[in-house]
Structure 1
Amino acid sequence: MTATGQFVLTLSCPDRAGIVAAVSNHLAGQGGNILEAQQFGDAETGRFFMRLVFEDTERDLAALEAGFDAFAKQFAMQWTLRDRGQRRRVMLLVSKFDHCLADILYRWRIGELPMDIAGVVANHPRETYRHLDLDGIPFHHLPVDHRSRTDQEAALTRLIDESGTDLVVLARYMQILSNELARKLAGRCINIHHSFLPGFKGARPYHQAHRRGVKLIGATAHFVTAELDEGPIIEQDIERVTHADTPEDLIRIGRDIERRVLARTLRLYLDDRVLLNGAKTVVFHS
């Protein structure tokens, strides 16, 4: 018996007629009651994506998984099933700019982000964040430069593994992960980039944007891959700027965009609303 009796099923498979009916009938036959359902068929890739929330007060997660596994094989499904009451463990990585970290901590403390914080990892010392309430949250100072990067990432990897971290969030962590670590965290590492990708990748994007005289700036949350700022995009937002705005003005305006984009992304991910679709994502908004 679960605490909530509600479960989230996400799946993707080759598209064909009858998938929605088959999944619905299977769950109904097992005693499940569907509360929410969203689906999308991608004509370009020929794949079908679905997110379902259903209620089952008789069986636990293990029993539901066992019952769905044989059914899913008929459709060559890639699928996940999660008890909606199960909170994911999230590790937050941060550098000197801490506005995204501060916003996440606030939203977490008021219950807006249903997750457990596995720890905060920073390449700056604890004193840098003395104005933030980190009480009860494990804090790890892992300084890094080009000579110590291998050892630093080895320590970071141990922290991720030992803490049972489900999701790593680069909350303005201004270090590039190695290809090896990016591959290890594939599909469970999110970055907030301070530009409207695919424009202005890499360092100092607001300065790049100012030099080009753009009239819109934005922020992008995406999955981390080995290719810098090329991972599948999850969420974006923009603000209008003018010729009179300086690079410092763009940075100030951008901080607000970054905070809200990352917060929206976390809410979507924690509620199983983000599905990978090759180099893109399918995002089921509420």
Structure 2
Amino acid sequence: MKNKKKAWIFTASCPSVLGTVDLVTRYMAETKNYIEEIHSFDDHSAERFFIRIEFQPQDDNFNAESFSEGFSSRATEFDMQWQLTTAMHRPRVAILVSKYDHCLNDLLYRHRTGQLNIDIAVIISNHPDLEPLAKWHDIPYYHLPITKDTKPQQEAEIIKLVEEYNTELVILARYMQVLSPKLCDHLDGWAINIHHSLLPGFKGARPYHQAWEKGVKMVGATAHYVNNDLDEGPIIAQGIQHVDHAYYPEDLIAKGQDIERMTLFNAVRFHIEKRVFLSGSRTVILGN
């Protein structure tokens, strides 16, 4: 098992040019940092290179500022954008939820057991139903009712709370509201949404019942970053399960919720472990 207490994560992207891997690995060796995990990808379509490294400093006096100062000049020559993060960093998270509790329950359990290295700072909902669950975990819960007329004010309160609690990631754990363009713009790139994926697509009320009526043979879920394209942001993780004629609507719902839980967990894990890179409207996931 890796010793995460001393581990660091280095991530970078730059134009596709010769010598990118050598630039990073040579510097790691020169500064006495042992590489435990390395993944890279060259996106030919975008002509852009991506790399992620987990390393253990061999020098007990390792200093992140000194490392950064030494690497900056070399990175400039490659027009490289990069980041250095301790593997023990616990991002502060805000969770938005409505009445469905399966995704929230899963995130709380994985947070409590250490499977997700996050701090859940606040839970925000347009319904009061899940407040007891938040209280049991000693997490602040804000009930912000919403109507068509109060939507701007309600979303302004969400933004205020997200900023007040210094959150670095927002998770929409089955938050059953369409976000306004203003809120989408505010959350662009640092909010993860989860929704069902049924083929063919069934929108509107009771999608699983619609799917059952058509004899659906597959249920799934998609986790993606929030942007102004409804349910069409850059995809981080997906899950799928084959079903058959023996699945009634209630069975499809239960199976779909299982997949949603796991897919959302994977997406959040990839994000907090710095495995997700944006390449235009697509994502690159390194070492998942």
TM-score normalised by structure 2 residue count: 0.91
**Residue deviations 1:197-227 (CA, integer Å, cap 9, x gap):** 8944666443443344321110011111111
- The partner residue of 2:171 within 163, 166, 169 is 169
Which residue is equivalent to 1:144? 146
What's the secondary structure of 1:96's corresponding residue? coil
Change (3 A) 1:202 1:59: farther
Are the counterparts in 1 of residues 93 and 169 from structure 2 also a CA contact under 8 Å? yes
Are the counterparts in 2 of residues 196 and 238 from structure 1 also a CA contact under 8 Å? no
Letter of the 1:155 partner, please give it. Answer: E
Are the counterparts in 2 of residues 191 and 223 from structure 1 also a CA contact under 8 Å? yes
Q: Is 1:135 equivalent to 2:137 in the alignment? A: yes
What is the total number of aligned residue pairs between the two structures?
A: 283
The CA RMSD measured in Å over matched residues stands at 2.1
Are the counterparts in 2 of residues 93 and 169 from structure 1 also a CA contact under 8 Å? yes
Once residues 103 and 86 of structure 1 are traced to their aligned partners in structure 2, the CA distance between those partners, rounded to angstroms, is: 21
* Aligned positions of 1:205-244 closer than 5 A: 205-244=207-246
Which residue is equivalent to 1:257? 259
- The partner residue of 2:159 within 142, 151, 157 is 157
Letter of the 1:90 partner, please give it. Answer: V
TM-score normalised by structure 1 residue count: 0.91
Letter of the 1:243 partner, please give it. Answer: H
Are the counterparts in 2 of residues 61 and 83 from structure 1 also a CA contact under 8 Å? no
Change (3 A) 1:111 1:256: same
- State the Cα distance separating 1:166 from its structure 2 match: 0.6
- State the Cα distance separating 1:148 from its structure 2 match: 1.0
Which residue is equivalent to 1:49? 50
Which residue is equivalent to 1:64? 67
Letter of the 2:65 partner, please give it. Answer: A
* Aligned positions of 1:188-207 closer than 5 A: 188-196=190-198, 199-200=201-202, 204-207=206-209
Once residues 209 and 81 of structure 2 are traced to their aligned partners in structure 1, the CA distance between those partners, rounded to angstroms, is: 42
Once residues 53 and 212 of structure 1 are traced to their aligned partners in structure 2, the CA distance between those partners, rounded to angstroms, is: 47
- State the Cα distance separating 1:172 from its structure 2 match: 0.4
Once residues 76 and 113 of structure 2 are traced to their aligned partners in structure 1, the CA distance between those partners, rounded to angstroms, is: 41
Residue segments in structure 2 that go unaligned for 5+ positions in a row: none
Once residues 208 and 285 of structure 1 are traced to their aligned partners in structure 2, the CA distance between those partners, rounded to angstroms, is: 37
What's the secondary structure of 2:119's corresponding residue? strand
Which residue is equivalent to 2:12? 11
Are the counterparts in 2 of residues 275 and 283 from structure 1 also a CA contact under 8 Å? yes
Which residue is equivalent to 1:92? 95
Worse-superposed segment, 199-208 or 141-150: 199-208
Change (3 A) 1:60 1:181: farther
Runs of 4+ aligned residues of structure 1 deviating over 6 Å after TM superposition are none
Which residue is equivalent to 2:36? 35
Letter of the 1:264 partner, please give it. Answer: N
Change (3 A) 1:216 1:101: same
Once residues 60 and 203 of structure 1 are traced to their aligned partners in structure 2, the CA distance between those partners, rounded to angstroms, is: 55
Which residue is equivalent to 2:79? 76
Change (3 A) 1:79 1:142: same
What's the secondary structure of 1:8's corresponding residue? strand
